[in-house]
Structures are given as structure tokens and as C-alpha cells.
Chains A and B, each alone.
Chain A
Amino acid sequence: MKTSTKSLDWGLNAQRLLAVAVLLAIWQVVIWSGTLPSMTPGVAALASSIGEAVASATFWSALAQTMAAAVSGWLIAVVAGTVLGLLIGSVRVLDRSTSILIDFGRSFPVLALMPVVIMLLGATAQMETVVVALSCLWPVLVQTIYGARRMEAAVVDTVQIFQIPAFLRFRRVLLPSATPFIATGIRIAASISILVAVGVEVLSQTPGIGRQITLAQQAQRWDSAFAYLFFAGLVGWGIASLLHFAEGRILKWNRQTND
């Protein structure tokens, strides 16, 4: 039984590799056929520039800069979003008063503010962190509010009747019931953080992977632009899978899948 599932898995992986190979082959054929503009690199050029990028110091420092801005902005958003969200979600009046403002904020494309933010803060790593934090705040905030708001009537009554003190109520009732929602918000925010960090770098002179893509494209180094794009996708994928895994482990008892 065990061996059969294993061999099945092996077959699946082989087929997955085959699918990637087929995609690459199609890519190469399209390049040869000349339908794409001539600057698009072939598979061989792409592979060699991916190898070249991994060996270069520029790539690693760009990656470090992007990650630093993304992670710091994300952390700020997680702390601010959770605190604000728990507060807003558990106080009815605040919840009502802020609802329009929060709906507005979450549908605001923060990257559109880039020219304004660059004027105010300059094209610095600090500015990048601010934009990332502003973008990541909303999913955390909205999910936390949603989690804090959603309390079963029986639980509310129990807390009231037993006169549970506020702090204990917060720690033992509110937090556990909101945690799965907060976790989902944090996970969504993490993937947004990378997207926004790269976006900021593409649009401004801030150093990082996005900047490298723009530079490579302007220098007509298309193969290395595609290589950086590949790594940007890889990083986003890695972070998404990591958080998915972590959330599954930590919140085994109650996982929310509403993204």
C-alpha cells in the first residue's frame, strides 16, 4: 500500500516536471517562431542568467533590501492592525463609526499614492517600509475586526453573568476566538508585503529586486530582468507556502480559509 502511494507520488512529480518542461519548450518554440518581440530571452539564456544572478552579490543585496522593507512594513502592520482591530471590533460604537473609513482604506490602491509619498519622504527604504505597512494594515485590521466582532451570544452571556474581569475576558475569550481570523489577515498581508515592496521599487529609485528589474530592462538585459522576475515569484511563493504551513500547524483546531 505504502509503496504504491509512493510510486504514485513519484509519477506525479515526474509529470509535474514534464509539464514544466513542456511549458519551457512552448516558450522556446514561440521565441524561435518570432511572434514575441526579439528581446525576449530563450530558455538557455534565461537559465544562464538565473545562475549568474545567484552567483552575484548585487542579487543578494537587492533581495535583502526588498525583504527588509517588506518584513519591517509587515511587522508594523501586524502590530498596529491587531491592536486597532481588537479595539474597534469589541467596541460597538467604534465599529460603526469607523466602518466607512475602513472600507475606504481597504479599497484604496496605496501604490497610487507613490508620487505623493515620494514627495514627502523621498525615495528611501523608510518610504518603502511606510508604503508596505500602509498596504498590509488593511487585511490585518479587517480580519481582526471581523474576528473580534463575531462572538457567540452564549459566550457573551456567560462572561457577563460570571462577571469575568475585562483583562481576563480579553486574554481568554476575545483573543482565542479572534486568533484564526487574525492569522488569515497576517497571511494575506505577508503576500501583499512582497508585492508592494517590489511595486514600490519598480516605480521609484528605491534599491531592491524591483529596481533591478527596471534597471535590467532599461539596459536591454532582458535575460537578467526575467531572472529577477523569476526570483521575485519564487520568494512570494516561498513565503506563501511557509505561512500556510505555519498557520496549519499552529491553528490546527480552527483554520479559516476565507481568502
Chain B
Amino acid sequence: MTDTALRPESKTGTPARPRRSKVERVRSRPAQLALNILQRTWLIVVVFAVWWIATADSTNVFIPSLESILTSLFRDLSNGVIASGAAYSLGNLAAGLLIAVAVGIVGGLILGETKRLREIVDPVIHFFRSVPQAALVPLIIGAFGIGQGPKIYTIAFACMWPVLLNTIDGVLGVEPTIRKFSKVYRIPRGLHFRKVVLPAALPQIVAGVRVALPIGITVMVVSELFAANKGLGFYILNSSATFMVPETWAGALLVGVIGYILSLLFIVLERRILGWYFKSGAK
């Protein structure tokens, strides 16, 4: 989605004007904006309304009315039950992602620069990447307990591979000419990594982190759904175990909303970090 939005329309410098029908051109800008917003949001409203009405007097115990779901969601949001759980979960996610990004970038830079080593460990990397992340959860939690550490390690392990593979790709994509320049001017190794290879690979690295983020959220929830005494997943699990059906729904929906918000925040972050890259019109 960012790809299409940010790609320059023409290369000559004059901004290409999108074709519009006459009716649209006559409309004033605020009206245009309102129409645009309306067009993008009406379906959400309809979905919500249909859900609300369809479940309003639901007799099925397992399908509570949307009203009761939202009531319990807001109650637990305001009394801090969810907030403390969310802080715990998101803390784990952040720590796990940080480790994954650090290890992935360093490993990717090293492997990207040394062809022989890369070729040798390539099958091993692809094997580890293919291990289902959720299957690690019982083993790691079983071995190390239900504390915070094992959850962070599991998230880190699962998120590391996309970052690593994308960093390797990014390093391989550095312009050979730039590489030669760096060699000809005898740029010291550290400086070469920091100022030449890393910035050139950054767009790929960020793309890798974008792939890793939803994986991290999934592993975070799964690790808590499996066994935990705190966190968002624990909130869902605990509600379902004690037959608090609206709370179970509320928790699951909240995790979805958090996932969505995080992905939006990541787009903002991406534009900040890679502003120079998008501006250059590369791709």
C-alpha cells in the first residue's frame, strides 16, 4: 500500500494529474475529502451495525451480543485489568523484537558479506525458519517455565529469521559500484559496515521487521494462551476457562485491534526511518 502511494507518478518532474470526471472536479475540496472518508468507512459501520443487530438478542451462550462484549471490554479497560496485562504482553513483544532485530541485522551483515559462509549455512537457516513458531512454545515453556524470559526468547527466535534473511538480501543488493568505491578508498571495515552497507540494506531490513511484527504478535499471544499467569493471552484464556464468554470475545478482539494499531504505527515509523529512501523515488 505504501508502494503505490509513494511511487512518483512520472519521471519528468511535472506531477501527473489523475484523470477525474467532470462531476468530481467541480466539487469543492472539503466535500471531496468527506466523500473519500465516507467511502472508506461506510463498510466498517455496516459490519458493526449488522453484528450489533444480529446478536442483540442472541440466546446462544457462546455468541454474546456485541453490546455485552463492548461493555465488558470497557469495564476491564477502565479498571486496569487489561492495561496491566497489555503492558506485560507488549513489553515481552518489544524485548523479543529488539533481540531479534539486533541478532538478525548483525548476523545478516556478516552472512551477506561472506559468500562462502552464507552458502554453507543456507540450508540450516531455511530449516530453522520453517520450524512452526507455535510448536516451539510448549518446548521452551516446558523447559524454562512460564516466566517472562522464555516468552521473550520464543518471540525473539521466531522473529529473527525474516530479519536475518532480509538483511542478507539487502546486503547483496548494495550497488557493486558503491562497493568498489568503498574498497578503492580503503574505507575501514567498521565505517564500511556502518556508513555504506547498513544504510543501503536498510529498506530491506525494515521490510523484514514488518514481516516479523505480526509473527511476534502471534507468538506473544500463543505463548500466553499456552501457559501464563499474566498478559493479554492469559486474560483470554482465563475468561474462557471461567466461562466469561463476553470477556473471551473482548480479549480476542482487543488483540486484533492492537495488532492493527501496531501495524499502522509501524508504517509511520517506516516513513520516518526511510523518508530519504521514499523521497529518492527508488524501487
Interface residues of A (CB under 8 A from B): 12, 15-16, 18-20, 23, 36-37, 39-40, 93, 96-101, 103-104, 107-109, 111-116, 118-120, 149-150, 191, 194-196, 198-199, 202-203, 209-210, 213-214, 217-218, 222, 225-226, 228-229, 232-237, 240-241, 259
Given contacts A107-B214, A108-B260, contact A12 B225 (CB under 8 A): no
Q: 10 A–B contact pairs at CB < 8 A?
A: A96-B40, A109-B214, A109-B218, A112-B225, A112-B251, A115-B236, A149-B4, A210-B132, A225-B138, A228-B135
The total of Cβ contacts below 8 Å across the A-B interface reads: 171
Q: Is the CB–CB distance between B63 and A120 below 8 Å?
A: yes
CB distance from A219 to the nearest CB of B (A): 11
Given contacts A112-B256, A114-B225, A199-B132, contact A100 B138 (CB under 8 A): no
Q: Is the CB–CB distance between A96 and B39 below 8 Å?
A: yes
Q: Is the CB–CB distance between B143 and A39 below 8 Å?
A: yes
Shortest Cβ distance from A237 into B: residue: B130
Task: Determine the main DSSP class of B at the interface with A.
Answer: helix
Given contacts A107-B260, A112-B252, contact A195 B214 (CB under 8 A): no
Q: Is the CB–CB distance between A19 and B225 below 8 Å?
A: no
Given contacts A115-B236, A236-B130, contact A202 B135 (CB under 8 A): yes
- A202 partner, pick from B119, B138, B245, beta carbons under 8 A: B138
Given contacts A103-B260, A120-B63, A217-B142, contact A232 B120 (CB under 8 A): no
Within 8 Å CB of B221, what residues of A? 109, 111-112
Minimum-distance CB pairs A-B, first 8:
A199-B134, A236-B130, A233-B131, A115-B240, A237-B130, A198-B132, A108-B256, A112-B255
Task: Determine the main DSSP class of A at the interface with B.
Answer: helix
Q: How far is the CA of A229 from the CA of B232 in the complex (A)?
A: 26
Given contacts A108-B256, A116-B248, contact A23 B137 (CB under 8 A): no
B126 at the interface (CB under 8 A from A): yes
